[in-house]
């Protein structure tokens, strides 16, 4: 009876076992042709390439070892299935064989270790850094702060969010920290991830070979809207980057008196400026309007909205400022055209009105945040994320008209 169970069903089962058990690995190799924006196997810069060059042989060797083990098991199952043979000699082992089989994997790993060591220290190198960007995470968006670096035309600090803009062929050092919980900065095409930890400054080096937009995502669980905390790194040619820098430093242009946008500026001054800074914005009496997010938000910061329409995203890169069609034109542009298209910014016809209006209407509804005033006892009444502002449709229309002028 025992023999029959084994022999009839045995052979059949083993074949299936082979197929099923190798699903993980075969699917892994065939499934990588779909061009996902965060694909870790498509490096676009030297740091990511270094990682890729290190990991590809390891994946290959691991795959081969996996197949050897699976084949050995299946071969054993077929060869030694119960065919009525006598109970075999009770062998307790062959030490020489086992020592050999222990040393072989140890040697393979020793070789891997040598290359790993080299890569770890190469990736940690910072002394030939060409440009510095301070990156600060908070629930649930990233702030990019470009300190003064005259060689790049940055004569006054630039503070932005939504997209990290950087020149190609330049060793850019991110100095990361956080204002609340731990976040993690990750642009797979340019490098691995590095956590942004409150109270610490961690460094991560990015360098892009070609102009383009590279997607990323916060990868340390950071609370309610962790899934909506995205990043985009925009790599521009050095000339285009200089244009971007010049535009970021351009003075504020107030909307013309009597326009809808001017009314929008008033709404902004009444409502938004409590948290959101627009550099150069002044109140009716001529005093500069200075945002005080530290009084209203737990992390103490809210995105600086100067030159908002030079960015393609808002709300922690959860939503696009560009309509789908215009966005595709930038993302799918050939690499020599990316810069020009990106620098066009968001024009009136390209503005994604739907998401922007929904956001202004009720932000916590479209992006989960702790913004219900009734539940803010533990945070001393401070919000985590943008609250519901009860703006009228009228005010929303004015605000949109104003925001579109922030070029």
Partner 1 sequence: MAIIERPTPAAPVVVTPTETYGLLKRPVSSTGWRSWVFTIDHKKLGIMYAVTAMFFFIVGGIEALLIRLQLAAPNGKVLNADLYNQMFTMHATTMVFLFIMPMAAGFANYFLPLQIGARDVAFPRLNAFGFWSLLFGGIFLNLAWFLGGAADGGWFMYAPNSGPVFSPSNGVNFWALGLQIAGIASLTSAINLIITVLNMRAPGMSLMKMPIFTWMITVVQFLLLFAVPVITVALFLLMFQRNFGARFFDVAAGADPLLWQHLFWIFGHPEVYILILPSFGIISEVLPVFSRKPLFGYPFVVFSGAAIGFVGWGVWAHHMFASGLGPVSVAVFSVATMAIAVPTGVKIINWTLTMWGGKLWFTTAMKFAIGLIVLFTVGGLSGVTHSIAPSDTQQTDTYYIVAHFHYVLFGGSVLGIFAGFYYWWPKVFGKMLSEKLGSWNFWLMIIGLNLTFGPMHILGLQGQPRRMYQWTEARAGEGFFNLAFWNSVASIGSFILAIGILIFLINVWVTSRNPQRAPLDPWDARSLEWMTSNPPKEHNFDVIPTVHHLDEFFHRKYEEDEATHTMKQITTAEDLIAEQERNADRHIHMPSPSYWPIVLAFGLPVIAFGLIYSYLIAVVGGVIVLFAAFGWALESSTAPESDFENPNSSAELVKHD
Alpha-carbon span 231 to 244, nearest angstrom = 18
CB-based burial, 234-250: b 16+ in 10 Å, e otherwise: bbbbeebbebbbeebbe
Residue among 282 and 323 whose Cβ is closer to partner 1: 323
Residues 221-280, interacting with partner 1 (CB under 8 A): 221-228, 230
- Say whether residue 30 binds partner 1 (CB under 8 A): yes
Nearest distance from C-beta of residue 79 to partner 1, angstroms:
8
Residue among 244 and 319 whose Cβ is closer to partner 1: 319
Residue among 152 and 370 whose Cβ is closer to partner 1: 370
Nearest distance from C-beta of residue 303 to partner 1, angstroms:
20
Nearest distance from C-beta of residue 231 to partner 1, angstroms:
11
Residues 91-120, interacting with partner 1 (CB under 8 A): 91-95, 97-98, 101-102, 105-106, 109, 112-113, 116-117, 119-120
DSSP state, residue 87: P
Residue among 116 and 247 whose Cβ is closer to partner 1: 116
Nearest distance from C-beta of residue 253 to partner 1, angstroms:
32
Token digits of residue 326: 């215009």
- Say whether residue 311 binds partner 1 (CB under 8 A): no
Residues 173-232, interacting with partner 1 (CB under 8 A): 176, 180-182, 184, 186, 188, 191-195, 197-200, 202, 215, 217-228, 230
Q: What is the DSSP string of 326-367?
A: HHHHHHTS-TTTHHHHHHT---TTTB-HHHHHHHHH-HHHHS
- Say whether residue 5 binds partner 1 (CB under 8 A): yes
Strands 230-236 and 164-167: parallel
Residues 58-87, interacting with partner 1 (CB under 8 A): 58-59, 62-63, 65-66, 69-70, 72-73, 76-77, 80-82, 85-87
Closest CA to 169 of 248, 241, 247: 241
- Report how many residues bind partner 1 under the rule CB under 8 A: 113
Q: Where are the beta strands (DSSP E) in 139-282?
A: 141-146, 158-161, 164-167, 172-178, 183-185, 194-196, 202-206, 212-217, 230-236
DSSP state, residue 133: E
Token digits of residue 312: 């393609």
Residue among 36 and 337 whose Cβ is closer to partner 1: 36
- Say whether residue 31 binds partner 1 (CB under 8 A): yes
Alpha-carbon span 233 to 209, nearest angstrom = 13
């Amino acid at each position: 009876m025992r023999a029959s169970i084994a022999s009839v069903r045995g052979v059949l089962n083993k074949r299936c076992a082979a197929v099923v058990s190798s699903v993980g690995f075969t699917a892994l190799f065939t499934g990588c042709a779909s061009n996902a924006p965060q694909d870790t196997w498509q490096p676009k810069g030297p740091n990511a390439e270094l990682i890729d060059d290190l990991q590809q042989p390891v994946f290959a060797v691991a795959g081969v070892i996996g197949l050897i083990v699976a084949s050995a098991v299946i071969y054993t199952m077929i060869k030694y299935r119960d065919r009525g043979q006598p109970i075999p000699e009770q062998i307790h082992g062959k030490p020489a064989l086992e020592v050999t089989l222990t040393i072989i994997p140890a040697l393979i790993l020793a070789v891997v270790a040598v290359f790993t060591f080299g890569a770890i220290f190469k990736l940690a190198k910072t002394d030939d850094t060409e440009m510095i960007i301070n990156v600060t995470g908070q629930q649930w968006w990233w702030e990019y702060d470009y300190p003064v670096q005259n060689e790049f035309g940055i004569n006054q600090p630039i503070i932005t969010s939504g997209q990290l803009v950087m020149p190609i062929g330049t060793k850019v050092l991110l100095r990361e920290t956080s204002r609340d919980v731990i976040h993690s900065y990750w642009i797979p095409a340019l490098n691995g991830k590095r956590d942004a930890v409150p109270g610490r400054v961690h460094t991560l080096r990015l360098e892009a070979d070609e102009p383009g937009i590279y997607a990323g995502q916060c990868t340390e669980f950071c609370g309610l809207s962790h899934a909506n905390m995205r990043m985009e790194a925009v790599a521009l040619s050095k000339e285009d980057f200089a244009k971007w820098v010049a535009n970021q430093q351009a003075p504020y242009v107030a909307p013309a008196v009597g326009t809808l946008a001017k009314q929008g500026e008033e709404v902004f001054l009444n409502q938004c400026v409590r948290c959101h800074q627009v550099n150069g914005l002044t109140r009716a009496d001529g005093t500069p309007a200075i945002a005080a997010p530290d009084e209203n938000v737990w992390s103490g910061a809210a995105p600086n909205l100067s030159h908002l329409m030079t960015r393609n995203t808002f709300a922690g890169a959860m939503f696009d400022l560009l309509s789908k069609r215009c966005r595709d034109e930038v993302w799918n542009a050939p690499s020599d055209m990316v810069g020009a298209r990106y620098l066009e910014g968001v024009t009136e016809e390209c503005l994604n009105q739907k998401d922007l209006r929904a956001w202004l209407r009720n932000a916590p509804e479209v992006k989960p945040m702790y913004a219900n005033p009734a539940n803010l006892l533990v945070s001393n009444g401070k919000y985590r994320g943008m609250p519901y502002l009860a703006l009228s449709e009228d005010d929303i229309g004015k605000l949109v008209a104003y925001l579109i002028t922030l070029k």
